[in-house]
C-alpha cells in the first residue's frame, strides 16, 4: 500500500533519487546522452533541499511513499504558473514515479492530492510542460488536458521542444480525476 503526504526537508535526498532515476529512464530516448548526463543526483539534491527549505505558501510538494517501509517512490511539485504567458494561474513543475511503480494508479493519486491542494490554495487553472515527444503526455491527455502552446527549452547544450498542456478549470480537472 501507498500513502501521499506533504514533503519535508528530510525528503530532499529521496526526491532527488526519484527525480534523477525517473528523468534518465523517461528521457533516455528523447535527449542526447550528453544532455541527459547533466542531471545528477548532487545537483537535484541541492535543488530539492532549496525548494523544501523555502516552502513558499503558494507552492506545494507531495511524496508518494510505501506504507511498509517508508520508501519514497514518487513526487509532485508545483505552484504559480511561471511564464506569465498563459491565462493559467497554477502549474505542475514536476511529477515523477520510479519505473517500477508506474502504471499502478499512483500518478493519478499524486495528481489528485496536488490538484485538491492547489484548489484549496485558491488556484483556478493548471498548466504543465512536457517534452513534446514524451509519451507520458498521454497521462495528462487522459484527464483531457489541452495543448496550449510550445516553446524551445535548453537542456545541457541541446535545444528541445516542450508543449504546455492546460486545464482551464481546476474543478473540472478534479472531477475527471475522481472519475
Would you say 75 and 61 are in contact if contact means Cβ atoms under 8 Å apart? yes
- Residue 122 dihedral angles phi and psi, to the nearest 5°: 125, 5
Nearest CA among 42, 52, 122 for reference residue 93: 52
Least confident of 32-36, 78-82, 163-167: 32-36
Q: What is the pLDDT of residue 71?
A: 96
Cell of 85: 504567458
pLDDT tier at 143, thresholds 50, 70, 90: very high
pLDDT higher than threshold 80 for residue 72 = yes
Residue tagged 515523477 (cell numbers): 96
Would you say 94 and 82 are in contact if contact means Cβ atoms under 8 Å apart? no
Count the neighbouring beta carbons within 10 Å of the beta carbon of residue 103: 10
Q: What is the pLDDT of residue 37?
A: 86
pLDDT in tens, 113-122: 999 999 999 9
Q: What is the C-alpha separation between 177 and 108, in angstroms, rounded?
A: 7
Which of the two residues, 96 and 54, has the higher pLDDT score? 96
Mean per-residue pLDDT over the chain, rounded: 94
Would you say 62 and 97 are in contact if contact means Cβ atoms under 8 Å apart? no
pLDDT tier at 57, thresholds 50, 70, 90: confident
The answer regarding whether domain 2-178 maps to CATH 3.40.630.30 reads yes
CA angle 161/166/169 to nearest 5° reads: 175
pLDDT in tens, 13-37: 999 999 999 999 988 989 999 888 8
pLDDT higher than threshold 80 for residue 5 = yes
Q: What is the pLDDT of residue 65?
A: 97
Q: What is the DSSP string of 8-69?
A: -GGGHHHHHHHHHHHHHHHHTTTS-HHHHTT--HHHHHHHHHHHHHH--TT-EEEEEEETTT
Amino acid at each position: 500500500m501507498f500513502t501521499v503526504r506533504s514533503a519535508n526537508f528530510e525528503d530532499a535526498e529521496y526526491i532527488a533519487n526519484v527525480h534523477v532515476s525517473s528523468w534518465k529512464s523517461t528521457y533516455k530516448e528523447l535527449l542526447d546522452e550528453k544532455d541527459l548526463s547533466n542531471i545528477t543526483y548532487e545537483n537535484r539534491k541541492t535543488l530539492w533541499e532549496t525548494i523544501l527549505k523555502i516552502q513558499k505558501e503558494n507552492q506545494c510538494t507531495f511524496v508518494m511513499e510505501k506504507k511498509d517501509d517508508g520508501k519514497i517512490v514518487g513526487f509532485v511539485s508545483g505552484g504559480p504558473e511561471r511564464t506569465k504567458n498563459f491565462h493559467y494561474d497554477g502549474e505542475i513543475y514536476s511529477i515523477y514515479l520510479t519505473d517500477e511503480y508506474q502504471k499502478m494508479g499512483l500518478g493519478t493519486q499524486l495528481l489528485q492530492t496536488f490538484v485538491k491542494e492547489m484548489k484549496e490554495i485558491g488556484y483556478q487553472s493548471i498548466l504543465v510542460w512536457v517534452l513534446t515527444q514524451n509519451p507520458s503526455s498521454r497521462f495528462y491527455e487522459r484527464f483531457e488536458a489541452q495543448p496550449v502552446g510550445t516553446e524551445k527549452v535548453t537542456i545541457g547544450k541541446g535545444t528541445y521542444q516542450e508543449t504546455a498542456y492546460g486545464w482551464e478549470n481546476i474543478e473540472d480537472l478534479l472531477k475527471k480525476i475522481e472519475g
